[in-house]
Structure 1
Amino acid sequence: MCGIVGVFELKKDSSEQREKILEMSKIIRHRGPDWSGIYCGDKAILAHERLTIVDPQSGGQPLYSEDKSIILAVNGEIYNHQDIRSKYPDYAFKTKSDCEVILALYQDKGVDFLDELTGMYGFALYDSVKDVFLCARDHQGIIPLYYGTDDMGQFYVASELKALEGTCNEIAPFPPGHYYYSEDNSFTKWYDREWKNYDTVKNNTSSVSDLKKAMEDSVHRHLMSDVPYGVLLSGGLDSSIVSAVAKKYAAKRVESGDHKDAWWPQLHSFAIGLEGSPDLEAAQKVADHIGTVHHSVNFTIQEGLDAIKDVVYFLETYDVTTIRASTPMYLLARVIKSMGIKMVLSGEGSDEIFGGYLYFHKAPNAEEFHKETVRKLDTLHLYDNLRANKSLAAWGIEGRVPFLDKEFIDVAMKLNPQDKMCGNGKMEKHILREAFEDYLPESVAWRQK
């Protein structure tokens, strides 16, 4: 996880604004405590706070094109960067950073490349030759990004709202699945899918085996890391699936095509709860079953109450449900940080995709069920995505969410909605439970939310 601050269409000399941008960037340094970088040009300034996950030695940002005319600052991960690199054998890559492929794609295709990226990101790119800038956010808003303008009409983006506070007159979330290209002077939606329309999926045949493989592939992609990582294991279905699949692949290094031994082959799992919590018991049962090194953390109600003010500050929301769910995650992140782990996988997104909430039992038909899953996904960036990202980033931890992988969503949301529906003796998310019941203890695979 990193933090970026960018300002474009400068109306005042950049040298006079450099110090201010550095101070704005410092406000979000908790997101990237490992290194700081800045580009200060005549028409744009890009600042970056880095959390090193991939290519710790040469992957510092901002990144530059070979002639240094194009500058890029990214908060995110591009999981298919090796595949993209292989398509550009003549491009002079300067680092092993997964994000550098964005520069190659931009130079080749202009703005029409975002759907080729598999990952999570919020980025700002400045082309100094054309004097244009491009900002974009991933398909689901997994990575936070905000924008605004100041009194002079300068355009800003930042990873967190607090970096823009006091500078911009109006601040708004950068819409997920969109890009802003200065030449167009407007937002353009780049992410759209036919499966959002019920008529395109209502007659589909659902394959449990295809669903299982898509999830395995997603988790495998998400293990791309040059630093120690772990999994959040609550004892519920979703985090248990992610943890079990991660354990399957943890012994080998993903970047080597699974040919070389992993640098940190022993997978650590983490759970938090009040003393005596049934979730902690379930998490331990899963950990014992799949063979992770498990860490169970207790907190008290008072410790949770004491943390709320900080949680609100870091999450930048007053949504009650989000704050309530974020508080233990925030406390757990501090423990994870103390153990030297910098990245964790988590189970967000499954309930929205598969209709995992109990109220989905009341869906009158498959069409309404599907429409509600689409609606939930469209608003997830305001709630669970925000929680998973910022609760962890507060302590310099990167959170990854395999259920929200772009390729996995395409498989899961094309399942026939009728086969996802609960009721009439079927438990919620039964198709997902069926796909992974061989990975988990029966009491967990068929445990109700």
Structure 2
Amino acid sequence: MASIFACYRLKHRGPDWSAIYQHGDCYLAHQRLAIIDPASGDQPLYNEDKSIVVTYEEYGDIFVDMLDGMFSFVLLDTRDNSFIVARDAIGITCLYIGWGLDRSIWISSELKGLNNDCEHFESFPPGHLYSSKKGGLRRWYNPPWFSEAVPSTPYDPLVLRRVFENVRFMNCSPTRLWLLSKLIPLS
């Protein structure tokens, strides 16, 4: 019943269509704004060509590493009533996760969609995945250049400026001059 009220609280997100899908003790609710393909855009989404399902069945939750672009989703595996939640690498779309007093897990695109019974909620971190089988968040987006380490010594703004100036002067090339001529017509 609480999922119906949570869905109602998000009605402004898509007044054109709403649906609730229930399987076991898992509920998926969606509010739709019919902008693209109003006639056949029913959601929760079913993957008609099964490409997502086949990839998920073959690779498990690491299939998220193969996705590119903007996304946030909940994938329900009806075979064992498990689910995964994932958000794109830089968090373009909003996604929140909440934990209920009854140990339930709530996912929403807005905070107001989380039930009042959530004792804790937070923004779902970009580039992360939640698996109900494994019971926790894990970072799936791990670019080789990323580091959470914070430099222990403060940076010198003058040194940083000189580095940027040197890089800028290194770019004094025919390509740079051509780009500048396109931005600042010489006529």
Q: Say yes or no: TM over 0.5.
A: yes
| Deviates most, 26-35 or 111-120 | 26-35
Q: What does residue range 412-427 of structure 1 map to in structure 2 within 5 Å?
A: 422-423=164-165, 426=168
Amino acid at match of 1:57: A
**Structure 1 spans left out of the alignment, 5+ residues:** 1-16, 66-91, 94-99, 198-359, 370-417, 444-449
Amino acid at match of 2:159: P
Q: Secondary structure at the match of 1:169?
A: strand
User: 1: CA distance between counterparts of 2:159 and 2:67?
Assistant: 37
Instruction: Return the offset for 1:132.
Output: 0.8
The residue aligned with 2:108 is 158
The counterpart of 2:120, out of the listed 170, 176, 182, is 170
The counterpart of 2:14, out of the listed 29, 32, 36, is 32
User: 2: CA distance between counterparts of 1:53 and 1:104?
Assistant: 28
Q: What does residue range 390-405 of structure 1 map to in structure 2 within 5 Å?
A: none
Q: Secondary structure at the match of 2:55?
A: helix
The residue aligned with 1:122 is 72
Instruction: Return the offset for 1:31.
Output: 2.7
The residue aligned with 2:46 is 64
The residue aligned with 1:185 is 135
Instruction: Return the offset for 1:138.
Output: 0.7
Contact 2:24 2:81 in 1 (8 A): no
User: 2: CA distance between counterparts of 1:142 and 1:35?
Assistant: 23
* 1:363/1:184 CA distance change after superposition, 3 Å: farther
The residue aligned with 2:3 is 21
User: 1: CA distance between counterparts of 2:177 and 2:106?
Assistant: 45
Contact 2:23 2:81 in 1 (8 A): no
User: 1: CA distance between counterparts of 2:177 and 2:93?
Assistant: 28
Contact 1:361 1:422 in 2 (8 A): no
* 1:116/1:166 CA distance change after superposition, 3 Å: same
User: 2: CA distance between counterparts of 1:153 and 1:124?
Assistant: 18
How high is the TM-score relative to the length of structure 2? 0.76
Instruction: Return the offset for 1:113.
Output: 1.0
How high is the TM-score relative to the length of structure 1? 0.34
2:24 matches 1:42: yes
Give % identity: 35
* 1:186/1:438 CA distance change after superposition, 3 Å: same
Structure with a larger share of its residues in helix: 1
The counterpart of 1:195, out of the listed 135, 141, 145, is 145
User: 2: CA distance between counterparts of 1:34 and 1:174?
Assistant: 26
2:159 matches 1:364: yes
Instruction: Return the offset for 1:41.
Output: 2.3
Q: What does residue range 52-131 of structure 1 map to in structure 2 within 5 Å?
A: 52-64=34-46, 93=49, 101-131=51-81
2:83 matches 1:133: yes
User: 1: CA distance between counterparts of 2:93 and 2:122?
Assistant: 15
Instruction: Return the offset for 1:30.
Output: 2.9
**Structure 2 spans left out of the alignment, 5+ residues:** 148-154
Contact 2:65 2:140 in 1 (8 A): yes
Instruction: Return the offset for 1:110.
Output: 1.5
Q: How many residues align?
A: 174
Q: What does residue range 426-437 of structure 1 map to in structure 2 within 5 Å?
A: 426=168, 434=176, 437=179
User: 2: CA distance between counterparts of 1:192 and 1:424?
Assistant: 30
Contact 2:7 2:31 in 1 (8 A): yes
Amino acid at match of 1:362: P
User: 1: CA distance between counterparts of 2:142 and 2:63?
Assistant: 14
* 1:55/1:105 CA distance change after superposition, 3 Å: farther
Q: What does residue range 219-368 of structure 1 map to in structure 2 within 5 Å?
A: 362=157, 364-365=159-160
Instruction: Return the offset for 1:439.
Output: 10
Instruction: Return the offset for 1:117.
Output: 1.4
Amino acid at match of 1:110: G
User: 1: CA distance between counterparts of 2:15 and 2:122?
Assistant: 25
